[in-house]
Amino acid sequence: MEENLRALLTAVREGSLDVEEALRRLGEAGFVELGFACLDTGRAERRGFPEVIFCPGKTPDQVAELFSRLAVSNPNLLATRATRRVYRAVQQAVPEAEYSPTARLAYLWRERPVQPRGMVLVVSAGTADLPVAEEAALTAEVMGSRVERLYDVGVAGLHRLLGRLDRLRQARVLVVVAGMEGALASVVGGLVARPVIAVPTSVGYGASFRGLAALLTMLNSCAAGVAVVNIDNGFGAGYLASLINRLGD
Amino acid sequence: MEENLRALLTAVREGSLDVEEALRRLGEAGFVELGFACLDTGRAERRGFPEVIFCPGKTPDQVAELFSRLAVSNPNLLATRATRRVYRAVQQAVPEAEYSPTARLAYLWRERPVQPRGMVLVVSAGTADLPVAEEAALTAEVMGSRVERLYDVGVAGLHRLLGRLDRLRQARVLVVVAGMEGALASVVGGLVARPVIAVPTSVGYGASFRGLAALLTMLNSCAAGVAVVNIDNGFGAGYLASLINRLGD
Amino acid sequence: MEENLRALLTAVREGSLDVEEALRRLGEAGFVELGFACLDTGRAERRGFPEVIFCPGKTPDQVAELFSRLAVSNPNLLATRATRRVYRAVQQAVPEAEYSPTARLAYLWRERPVQPRGMVLVVSAGTADLPVAEEAALTAEVMGSRVERLYDVGVAGLHRLLGRLDRLRQARVLVVVAGMEGALASVVGGLVARPVIAVPTSVGYGASFRGLAALLTMLNSCAAGVAVVNIDNGFGAGYLASLINRLGD
Amino acid sequence: MEENLRALLTAVREGSLDVEEALRRLGEAGFVELGFACLDTGRAERRGFPEVIFCPGKTPDQVAELFSRLAVSNPNLLATRATRRVYRAVQQAVPEAEYSPTARLAYLWRERPVQPRGMVLVVSAGTADLPVAEEAALTAEVMGSRVERLYDVGVAGLHRLLGRLDRLRQARVLVVVAGMEGALASVVGGLVARPVIAVPTSVGYGASFRGLAALLTMLNSCAAGVAVVNIDNGFGAGYLASLINRLGD
Amino acid sequence: MEENLRALLTAVREGSLDVEEALRRLGEAGFVELGFACLDTGRAERRGFPEVIFCPGKTPDQVAELFSRLAVSNPNLLATRATRRVYRAVQQAVPEAEYSPTARLAYLWRERPVQPRGMVLVVSAGTADLPVAEEAALTAEVMGSRVERLYDVGVAGLHRLLGRLDRLRQARVLVVVAGMEGALASVVGGLVARPVIAVPTSVGYGASFRGLAALLTMLNSCAAGVAVVNIDNGFGAGYLASLINRLGD
Amino acid sequence: MEENLRALLTAVREGSLDVEEALRRLGEAGFVELGFACLDTGRAERRGFPEVIFCPGKTPDQVAELFSRLAVSNPNLLATRATRRVYRAVQQAVPEAEYSPTARLAYLWRERPVQPRGMVLVVSAGTADLPVAEEAALTAEVMGSRVERLYDVGVAGLHRLLGRLDRLRQARVLVVVAGMEGALASVVGGLVARPVIAVPTSVGYGASFRGLAALLTMLNSCAAGVAVVNIDNGFGAGYLASLINRLGD
Amino acid sequence: MEENLRALLTAVREGSLDVEEALRRLGEAGFVELGFACLDTGRAERRGFPEVIFCPGKTPDQVAELFSRLAVSNPNLLATRATRRVYRAVQQAVPEAEYSPTARLAYLWRERPVQPRGMVLVVSAGTADLPVAEEAALTAEVMGSRVERLYDVGVAGLHRLLGRLDRLRQARVLVVVAGMEGALASVVGGLVARPVIAVPTSVGYGASFRGLAALLTMLNSCAAGVAVVNIDNGFGAGYLASLINRLGD
Amino acid sequence: MEENLRALLTAVREGSLDVEEALRRLGEAGFVELGFACLDTGRAERRGFPEVIFCPGKTPDQVAELFSRLAVSNPNLLATRATRRVYRAVQQAVPEAEYSPTARLAYLWRERPVQPRGMVLVVSAGTADLPVAEEAALTAEVMGSRVERLYDVGVAGLHRLLGRLDRLRQARVLVVVAGMEGALASVVGGLVARPVIAVPTSVGYGASFRGLAALLTMLNSCAAGVAVVNIDNGFGAGYLASLINRLGD
C-alpha cells in the first residue's frame, strides 16, 4: 500500500496528477479499501499462510474458481468442510490439489518448511473425535508446522496419557480435542507448561447437548494456560496453533 | 406390616375386635397410611438410618421439635442445611446434639458402629468445595459408615491424586466433589473399580453457570461406574454412599 | 508392575543393569505408563468385568477386531450401541457372540455366576423406554448380576407399582428408567431402602427437550438415595448397578 | 355500554343528533373502547369476581387508592404480592381489609357463599411451598370457593398422600403445588378424575434452576388432565381453580 | 374400598374367611393394588371416558390388540399420534374405528351425548396449528363434549377474533392453540370469564426454539385464568377441557 | 365500515329501523368485527402494501387460491417461504407471478415506483447468508423501495466494508444480515446515522446454536440505532425497512 | 475529511510538503483515524444528535467531566442509567442539566425543535414497565422528536388499547414496552402500518426468566413490521425511534 | 525427581538398599507422587513462572501463609481475586507484596526481565471491562511479559481502533477484553496475524445474560486465530498470553 500511496503522491508532486483527480481516485476506490486490500494482498506474503476457503454454502464450481485463483500466487491453500464432490471440482481446476476425507479438507501443499523446529501436538480423547483432530492437524501442517498426533488417550484410561509425558512436554503448543465430558483438556493443561488450545467436539450422548458439555468443561478448566475454540472447530485450533508455533521459530 | 395385619385380623376373628372398630382403626390411620407408616416406623429399625430433617423453610423451633421427637427413638439423627441459629434451638431441646458449621449439619451421633469394614472415601477438588464435601462425609459417618477424606486433589495437579492410588482403591465407594469443570469425577472413575458418586458444586466463575458446567461434565463422564447427584447436594451423595457401603458389610 | 519393577531393581542390584541405564529405561518407557498398563491388564482379572467397546464412530471391522482380541482372554464381553451390521462383523469373528437388537448390545456371555445372591431390579415407566431399560438389564446380566425386570409401571397408574412393593424391596439395587417427566425415580426412591440409579430417557414430546425434563426431575428428586446417569445411558446404569450389586456378595 | 348506545341511537331517532355527528362521536371516542369499558364494569357483576390488584411496582398509596375505589362496588377484593407496608396503607383506607403474610395477600372478604358445593383442594409437597399454596387457597376462597388444604404430602413419603385418597377424590378441582422435582402433580393426576392445576415453585437447590425443573416436570406429566401455571404463581392457580369450580355450581 | 374392606373383615369375623386366607388375598393382590385396580376398572364406568392409547413406541399390532381389547367394554376410545399404518391395523381389528389424519387420532366413537349443554371452543392462531387444534377438538368430542372451532384468528389481525366475541363468551371452556409468539392465549384470556387451556405449538422459525417461545409467553400470560399444557399437546388440552366441561353438566 | 355505519344510522334516523333493532344488529354482528374488517380492506389501499402469504403449512393449491384472490385487487404481492412446487401452482393461477428460488419468494410485481428517493441497503456478512439477504432485499423491492445490495463484507476482512462507506451512508435504512458471531451489525451501526435492522442467520457451526449466538450479539450491540428481527427472518427485515424507508418519501 | 485530504494534497502539489513527509503524516496519524475522527466530530453537527454517555462503570466525576466537555458544543445531551449521585456531580459541572429519576437519565435539553411534525408514540403494558418506557420517551424527546405516551394498556384489558386506535395510528413510529409475556407488541403491530420498536422488560415472575419470555415473544411476533431491542433497553428504542422519526421530517 | 531416583538406584546398586526395601519405598510413597511432586518443585524454576494462589474460599490468613511460603523460593508471585482484606494479611506476612484493587491482584514482583522483546497487547472495549483487562495485563507483566494497554476501543467507534493499527500489529500476542456483544474480538482478529486471546466479560444488560452473549460471539468468531477463555477470566488470558509470548524470546 505504501508503494501505491507513494506513487500517487509522487504523481501529484510531479504534476502528472492534479489534486482533484487524486482526490477522486482516493474517494472512488475508497482510500481505506485500497489500504486494506493492499494489506490483504500482502498478508499471505508476510505470513506465509494461505487464504482459507470455507466451503459450506458455496457451489463446487465457486470453490474451484476461488481455489484456482488463489493457487496462482499461493503455494499452499486450504478449503475447509469440503465434500468429495467439492474436491472433484477443485481437482479439475488445480490437479495438484489433495484431499483428506477424514479432515474434510481440500488443500494444496506445495511448499513445506525445510526444518520446522517447534512441534504442534494434537491430542484426542476418542476415536470419534478423529475428524476434528485431523482437521486441526492437517491445517497446522499445511500452514507450515511440524505436527505430531496422540490419539485415543481419554482420561478414562489415564495411563495411556501419562505414558507419553515426554511427547506432551516436547510440544511447543498443544491442541486437545475431546467430546463427551471434555476433561482431557484440564488434565493435559495441568501436565505441561505450553499453550493448550482446547476443541470441544459434538461427540457424546444425551446431556452432552451436541458439544455444550465439553465446551463448558473446557472453558471452566482449573488448569491455567488453556483457551477454547468453537465446537468441532478443528480448523480454528490448527490455525491458531500454527500462529503460536511460528512465534518460536 | 404383615405381622400387624395378622394381629389385627386375628383379633377380629377371635372377636376381641369388632368389624367397625377394625374398620375405624384402619380408616383412622388410613390403611395404606398405616401400612406405609408402619414401614416408616420400621424403617429406622431395619436400616439403622436416622430420619433426616431438611431445615430450610422451617423455623428453628419447628426443627427443634421434630429433632427432639425423633431423638426419642433414634440414636442418630441428621438435620441438613442448618444455620447456627437453628442449631442453638436444637441444642436446647436435645443437649447431646452436635453441629458442624462447615457441613451445615446439626446431628445426633450416639451410636457408632463397632467395626465398620467398608470405607467411604470423599474426594474433593479444591478448598472451596469443602462445605459440600464435609456434608457428604459427615452424613455418611452419622449413618454408620467409616469415612476417609482426600481433599484438594484437583486434576490441575494430577500427582496429588495419583500419589494416593492406594487409598482410592481401598474405598468401597467413593464420593467425588468438584466444581469448576468437574473433571475429577472422570479421572477418579477411570482409576477405580468401585461405585463413584459425583457431586457437582456451584464453585466456579463465569461460564460455570453455578454448577451447570460441572454437572454436565459429570453426567457425560467417559468413565463407566459414575452417577451424579444434584449440584451442591453433599447430603444426597453421603446418604447414597452409605446405602451402598452397607451392602458390603 | 511390581514384577517389572522387581526385575529392574534386581538387575540393578546384580550389576547387570547400571544406574544410568535403569534411569533411562524408566524415563523412556514412562514409569507411570508401565505401572498403569500393568493395572490395566490386571483390571479384568481382579474385577471379573469385561472391557466394553463403544461402537459409534468405529467401523464394523474395527469393532470386530477389538472384540475378537478381547475375546481371547475375557469370557464375557460387551459392545454397546451396536447396529445389526456391526454385529454381523462381530459374529463372523467370534461366532459365540450374541446380539440384542432392542438393547443394541453385541455381547459374549460365556461365564455366568452359579448362584448370584443379590438382585438388580430394572424398573421402567413406559414401553418407549424399553431399549434403554434393556441395555441396563443386559449389561448388568453380562457383568454377572441376577436381574429382574419390572416394566411399564409409570406413575400415571400408581397401583401397578404399589402392587409390586415386595419385588421392589427384594432388590439389592434398582435402576429406574423413565422419560417424559421422570417422576418414577422419586416415587421408587421413596419406597425402598436401597440405592436407586435413575436413567432419564429422551422419550417425550415438546418441552421434554430430549430428556432434559426427566434429567432435571431426577437430579432434584426429593427422595434421598437416588443418583443419575446420562440421558438414555442404560449401559452406564447397568454397569454401576452391577458394581454396587457385587459389593453385597 | 348498551345504555350509552341506546341513548345515542335514541338521540339519532329523535333527531336531536344527526347522522354525521353520531358517526363522528362513534369514531372519536372509539366505539370499541366504550363497549369494552362497559364490559369491564359489568365484569365483576356477572362474574361475582373481584378485580385483582398486582402490587409490585406500585407505591403503597397507589395500591390503597385502587383498593378503596374498587371497595365501593365490590364486596370481595384481592391485592397480590402485598408487603406488610402495602397492607398498612390499604388498611388505613379500607379498615375491613385483611392480610395474610404467608400468602402475601391483602384482601376484602365481605361476601361469602352460603353454601358452596364444589371443593377446591390445594395439595402441596413440602413446607417450603406453603406461601404459594396459601396464595392459591386464599385466592380461591375470596373468589367464593370452598377450599381444603392437604399440605406436606410429597412423593418421598407416598403413604401420606395415599392415606387421603378420599379427600383427593372429593375435590372438584385440585391445585398441586410442588418445588424440587415437582413429581407430585403427576402422581395426583394419576389418582383423580378431576382437573389438576399444577404450580411449580422455585423451592429447590442446585439444578432446580429456580423452579425450571419442576416446571418441566409438570409440563411433561404422563398423567392426562394436568395443566400448568407460572412458577410460584399461586394466585393464577387459585383464580383458575375458582373459575373451574363455579362451573359445577 | 371401604365396602370391600368391611365385607372382607365381616367374612373374617363370621369365620367364612380365615385369617391366613384374608392375609393372602390382601398380600397376593396387594391391598393397595386391589384397591387401585378396582378404581382402574371402575374408572371408565364412572368417568364415561375411554382409556387412551399412546401409539409412539408401539407396533401397529400392539396398538390394534390394545384397541380391540378396550373396545369390548368401552363405547368410545382414543389412540393418539397414530400413523395411517397404525390405523390400518386398528381398523382390521375393530372395523368401526375411525381416523383423522390431521389430528393423528384413531378413535371409536359409538356413544355420543344426546344433549351436551356446555361447549368447548378450540381457538387457533394460524393454519399451521391445525393438527394440534384438531387433536384437541376431536379428543374433547370423543370424550363427550360439544366442540366448536374458531381457527386462524391470530392477533396480527385482531378483528377476526373481536368479531366473534359472542362465540368466545358462549364457551364453557376454551382451548387456545398458537405457535410463533403465542400471544393469542393472553388476548383470549383477557376477553372471557372462563377457563382457558393454552397449547403452545412448535410452529415458528428461528428463535421460536420449537415452541419454547410460545410456551414461555403462555406461562407468563398477564391474563388470569390461563393454564398451559406441553408443546403440541393437543390431546392433553382436549382431555382437560372435557374434564372441566363436564363439571357444568 | 363507515358506509355500513352511515347506512344503519340513516335508517334509524329515517325511522325505517327502530332503536332496539339497531341495537340488536350492532350486538349480533359484532360492531367491532365490522369495523376491523373494514379497516382490513382499506389497509392495502392506504398503505400501498400487498398482503403477504406465509406458505409453510399450506398446500400449493391453498396458496394459489389466496394468491389469485389477492391478485385481483393488489398490483404487488408476496408469498414467503415458497417452494418451487408452490410457485408452479401459483403461476398456473396467476401467470404474471415471478419466483426467486434463492429468496424462496413467489411474488407479483406489477407496480413499481417511478422514482423512489430513499434507498434500502442490504448488507450481508457471508455467502451463506445470501438466501436471507435476498428475501429481505426482494421483499423491500416488491413493497416499493429502491434496494441496493452489499454482500460478503464480514468483519474478518474489514476493508471490504470500510471501502464502501459512501454507499453505507447513502442508505436511508440498512438491513444487516449475518450469521456466525453476527458482529457486522455492531460495526455497521457504529458507522452510520441511519436505522439498522439486524437479521441473525442460522449460519454457523457448533456453539452458534442455530443462530442464537448471532441473535444475542445483535441484541447486545454497543452501537445505538440497531434493532433485531427473528433468526433467518429476511422477510420481516425487508418489510420493516420498507415501512421506514417510505417515511422519508 | 475531504477537506483535510485536499489541503494535504494541495500542499504536496505546491511543494510545501514533500512526498515522504506526506506519507509519514498519513502513516503516523493513521489516515483512517483522521478520517473517522473527522466524521466523529462532524457527527453531532450533521445528525443534530447529542453524544450519549453510558454511566455504569464510570465515577460521578468522570461522567461530569465528559458531560461538561460535550456540553460546550452540543445543545442537547444524554447520560443514561444515571444515579442521583451521578446527577449531582453533573449538575455541579453543568447547572442547566436536568434529571429524570424514573428514566434514570441526566440530560441537557437546550434546543427543542420548533415544530416537529412526526410523533413517536411510546406504549407500555403495565405500571412496572414505566422506567423503561420513560427512558425511551425522554431519549426520543431530547433527540428532537415529539413524543406521546400511552401507558398501562396491556392486552389483558384490550379495550384500553382499542379505544385509542386513533392515537396509535397517528404515530409515525411506535415504541412498545412490555414485560411478562410481551404480547402487546404483536397486538400493536397488527393494528398499525408504522414501524414498531419492541422493548422487552425484565418485569415478570418465575418463568419470565428476567425478560427472556418477553424477548422471545417479540422476536417471534406474527405481525410484520416489528423489531426488537435488548431487554430493558429503553434508551436504544428511543434512539432508534428518533432516527426513524426524523426521516419523515 | 531424577536425582531422587538416581540416589535410590545408586543405593540399590551399592547394596546399601535391598530390592524389597526399594520396592517398598517406591510403593509406600507412591512413585508417581514422588515423580510429579518433583516436577512440581521444578516447575517454577524451569518456567520462571510463579505459583498462583486463587483466593476465593480461603481465609486471609490461609492466603498469607501460602503467599509467604511461596515467597521464599519465588521472586514473583500472584494471588488472584484478592480483596483488600486479603491483601492486608498478605502484606503483613510479606511486606514487599503489592496490590492492584482494580485487577484484584495481590502480587510480588521482585524480578523483572531486563529486556523482554515480545509485547502483549491488552485491548478492551469499554471502561466497564477495565478490571478484567487489568487482571490480564498485570498477570502477564508479573509473569515477565512486556505489556501495553489499548483501552476503550469498542467497535461502535471503529476509528479509535483503526487509528492504532500499528500498535495492534506490533504485538506478539493480543488479549481482547469485551462485554456486551463482544464483537471487538472478531474485528481485531481480522486485522492482525497474531494469536488473539478473547475474554468475554459479564458487562452488559438484559440479554447479555452475564457474559453469555459475548462468550458465544467470541466462540463463533469468523476471524481465524482467536481462542476464548472463561467469562471475566482476565487472569487466564494473561497467563496464556505470557506462555505464548515467551515462545518468541
Q: Which of D180-189, F114-123, G82-91 has the lowest mean pLDDT?
A: F114-123
Q: Let me know: does B220 contact B189? Beta carbons within 8 Å.
A: no
Cα distance between the two ends of chain E: 27
Chains touching E (at least 3 CB pairs under 8 A) are B, C, D, F, G
Alpha carbon of F239: minimum distance to chain G alpha carbons (Å)? 6
Does residue A19 belong to the interface with chain G, where contact is any CB pair within 8 Å? yes
Per-chain mean pLDDT for chain A = 83
Does H32 contact C27 at a Cβ distance shorter than 8 Å?
Answer: no
Does residue A57 belong to the interface with chain F, where contact is any CB pair within 8 Å? yes
Does residue B15 belong to the interface with chain E, where contact is any CB pair within 8 Å? yes
Does G208 contact D202 at a Cβ distance shorter than 8 Å?
Answer: no
Q: Which of C77-81, D55-59, E94-98, G85-89 has the lowest mean pLDDT?
A: D55-59
Does G33 contact H203 at a Cβ distance shorter than 8 Å?
Answer: no
Chain H residue nearest residue C3, CA to CA: H23
pLDDT attached to residue A50:
62
Q: Where are the alpha helices (DSSP H) in F74-195?
A: 84-93, 130-142, 158-162, 165-170, 184-191
> Per-residue confidence at E47, pLDDT binned at 50, 70, 90?
very low
Q: What is the residue-wise DSSP string for H160-224?
A: HHHTTHHHHHH-SEEEEEE-TT-THHHHHHHH-SS-EEEEE-S---GGGGGGHHHHHHHHT-SSS
pLDDT attached to residue B133:
96
Alpha carbon of C221: minimum distance to chain B alpha carbons (Å)? 9
Does the pLDDT of residue F158 top 50, yes or no?
yes
Alpha carbons D34 and B155: distance in angstroms, whole number: 71
Does the pLDDT of residue G127 top 80, yes or no?
yes
> Per-residue confidence at B22, pLDDT binned at 50, 70, 90?
low
Does residue G246 belong to the interface with chain F, where contact is any CB pair within 8 Å? no
Chain H residue nearest residue B208, CA to CA: H230
G162 or D125: whose pLDDT is higher? Answer: D125
pLDDT attached to residue B57:
81
> Per-residue confidence at D25, pLDDT binned at 50, 70, 90?
low
Does D36 contact G128 at a Cβ distance shorter than 8 Å?
Answer: no
Partners of residue B43 in chain C, C-beta under 8 Å: 193
Mean pLDDT to the nearest integer, H123-146: 93
Phi, psi of H55 (to 5 degrees): -75, -40
Q: What is the pLDDT of residues D87-121, one digit of tens each?
A: 999 999 999 999 999 999 999 999 888 777 789 99
Partners of residue H188 in chain F, C-beta under 8 Å: none
**Percentage of residues of chain A with pLDDT beyond 90:** 50
Interface test with B, best of E4, E8, E12 (most B CBs within 10 A): E12
Partners of residue B6 in chain E, C-beta under 8 Å: 19, 23
Q: Residue D208's Cα: distance from chain center in Å?
A: 26
> Per-residue confidence at A101, pLDDT binned at 50, 70, 90?
very high
- Long-range contacts of range E9-17, CB-CB < 8 Å, 24 or more positions apart? E9/B9, E9/B12, E9/B19, E9/B22, E9/B23, E10/B19, E12/B9, E12/B12, E12/B13, E13/B12, E13/B13, E13/B15, E13/B18, E13/B19, E15/B13
Alpha carbons G31 and B247: distance in angstroms, whole number: 78
Does E23 contact B9 at a Cβ distance shorter than 8 Å?
Answer: yes
Does residue A11 belong to the interface with chain G, where contact is any CB pair within 8 Å? no
Interface test with D, best of B1, B33, B43 (most D CBs within 10 A): B33
Chain B residue nearest residue A184, CA to CA: B183
pLDDT tens, chain C, 249 aa long:
345 566 777 777 777 877 767 655 554 333 333 222 222 333 454 344 667 888 988 889 989 998 998 888 888 999 999 999 999 999 999 999 999 999 999 999 998 887 777 899 999 998 889 999 999 999 999 999 999 999 988 888 787 788 888 899 899 999 999 998 899 999 999 888 899 999 999 988 888 888 999 999 999 988 889 999 999 999 999 999 999 999 987
Candidate from F15, F19, F35 with C-beta closest to D10: F19
Alpha carbons B242 and B237: distance in angstroms, whole number: 8
Q: What is the residue-wise DSSP string for chain G?
A: -HHHHHHHHHHHHHTSS-HHHHHHHIIIIIHHHHHHHHHHHHHHHHH----EEE-TTS-HHHHHHHHHHHHHH-SEEEEES--HHHHHHHHHH-TT-EEETTTTEEEEE----SS--SEEEEEESSGGGHHHHHHHHHHHHHTT-EEEEE-S--GGGHHHHHTTHHHHHH-SEEEEEE-TT-THHHHHHHH-SS-EEEEE-S---GGGGGGHHHHHHHHT-SSSSEEE--TT-HHHHHHHHHHHHHHT-
Does G163 contact D200 at a Cβ distance shorter than 8 Å?
Answer: no
Q: What is the pLDDT of residues E154-182, one digit of tens each?
A: 888 787 788 888 899 899 999 999 998 89
pLDDT attached to residue E15:
78
pLDDT attached to residue G165:
84
Mean pLDDT to the nearest integer, F168-185: 93
pLDDT attached to residue A82:
96
Does residue D33 belong to the interface with chain G, where contact is any CB pair within 8 Å? yes
Candidate from A33, A56, A215 with C-beta closest to F159: A33
Of D121, G178, D244, the residue nearest E221 (C-alpha): G178
Interface test with F, best of D19, D20, D39 (most F CBs within 10 A): D19
Does residue G202 belong to the interface with chain H, where contact is any CB pair within 8 Å? yes
Does residue F30 belong to the interface with chain E, where contact is any CB pair within 8 Å? yes
Q: What is the pLDDT of residues E120-154, one digit of tens each?
A: 999 999 888 999 999 999 999 999 999 999 998 88
Does F34 contact E130 at a Cβ distance shorter than 8 Å?
Answer: no
Does residue C156 belong to the interface with chain B, where contact is any CB pair within 8 Å? no
Alpha carbon of C118: minimum distance to chain B alpha carbons (Å)? 10
Q: What is the pLDDT of residues A29-42, one digit of tens each?
A: 333 332 222 223 33
Chains C and A touch (3+ CB pairs under 8 A): yes
pLDDT attached to residue E199:
97
Chains touching C (at least 3 CB pairs under 8 A) are A, B, D, E, H
Partners of residue E37 in chain C, C-beta under 8 Å: 159, 163
